[in-house]
């Protein structure tokens, strides 16, 4: 049944291919030829299908992999599976969609972020940085990884530690001004 579904989806993707789209995408380092709006329409029709998503990923076709990122259940992937998928995704669009639509929603995102930040492959390290940006944007008040590790080891007693993100004053910012607050004008003093 899954093989039939994969074959049907691959045939549909082949029908949607546009040589002009492939030409434009190749200039950006991508090799898919399906218009992304049409690809999203296919995903909307298929809805969430984790098994089909895994089978589409195995085809090694960029359009199929993009579709797989749209119809999968991000929380259903294991850590090692996500790591392998990222290392297999060598086109920028597949890499980007995998990180943004799947890995960021995974319960393994923090663990993968830390592992990928120090990876020798710059493409893999960029995924770690993308996850770091996501973490800072969503949880700016949460403990930073090094502080959390020190507390876990019991080595953070009595130390103030570095200021949290956003505590430092920006150049040209008034000393009493909170970050994001309007700067006092001379006439307001």
Q: For residue 29, what are the domain limits?
A: 2-153
Q: Are 75 and 46 in contact (CB under 8 A)?
A: no
Query: Any bridge partners for residue 152, and if so which?
Result: none
Is 183 a residue whose pLDDT tops 70?
no
Is 143 a residue whose pLDDT tops 80?
no
**Mean pLDDT for all residues in the chain:** 84
Say what percent of the chain tops pLDDT 90. Answer: 68
Q: Quick one: pLDDT at residue 170?
A: 57
164 part of a folded domain: no
45 part of a folded domain: yes
3-state helix, strand, coil in the chain (%, to 5): 65, 0, 35
Is 142 a residue whose pLDDT tops 50?
yes
Q: Quick one: pLDDT at residue 90?
A: 85
76 part of a folded domain: yes
Structurally, the chain folds into a number of domains equal to 1
123 part of a folded domain: yes
Q: Quick one: pLDDT at residue 138?
A: 84
99 part of a folded domain: yes
90 part of a folded domain: yes
Supply 145's token pair.
């990884």
Q: What is the mean pLDDT of residues 27-38?
A: 93
Distance of CA 166 to the CA centre of its chain: 23
29 part of a folded domain: yes
Q: Quick one: pLDDT at residue 92?
A: 95
pLDDT digits (tens, 9 = 90+) for 7-22: 999 999 999 999 999 9
160 part of a folded domain: no
What is the pTM assigned to this prediction? Answer: 0.73
Q: How many CB atoms lie within 10 A of CB 159?
A: 9
């Amino acid at each position: 049944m899954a093989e039939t579904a994969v074959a049907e989806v691959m045939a549909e993707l082949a029908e949607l291919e546009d040589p002009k789209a492939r030409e434009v995408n190749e200039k950006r380092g991508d090799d898919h030829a399906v218009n992304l709006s049409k690809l999203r329409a296919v995903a909307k029709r298929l809805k969430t299908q984790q098994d089909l998503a895994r089978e589409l990923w195995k085809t090694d076709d960029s359009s199929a992999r993009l579709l797989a990122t749209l119809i999968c259940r991000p929380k259903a992937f294991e850590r090692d599976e996500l790591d392998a998928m990222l290392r297999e995704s060598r086109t920028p669009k597949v890499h980007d969609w995998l990180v943004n639509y799947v890995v960021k929603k995974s319960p393994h995102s923090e663990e993968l972020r830390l592992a990928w930040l120090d990876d020798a492959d710059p493409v893999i390290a960029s995924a770690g940085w993308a996850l770091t940006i996501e973490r800072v944007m969503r949880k700016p008040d949460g403990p930073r990884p090094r502080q959390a590790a020190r507390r876990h080891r019991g080595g953070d007693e009595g130390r103030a530690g570095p200021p949290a993100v956003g505590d430092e004053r920006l150049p040209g910012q008034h000393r009493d001004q909170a970050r994001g607050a309007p700067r006092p004008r001379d006439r307001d003093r």
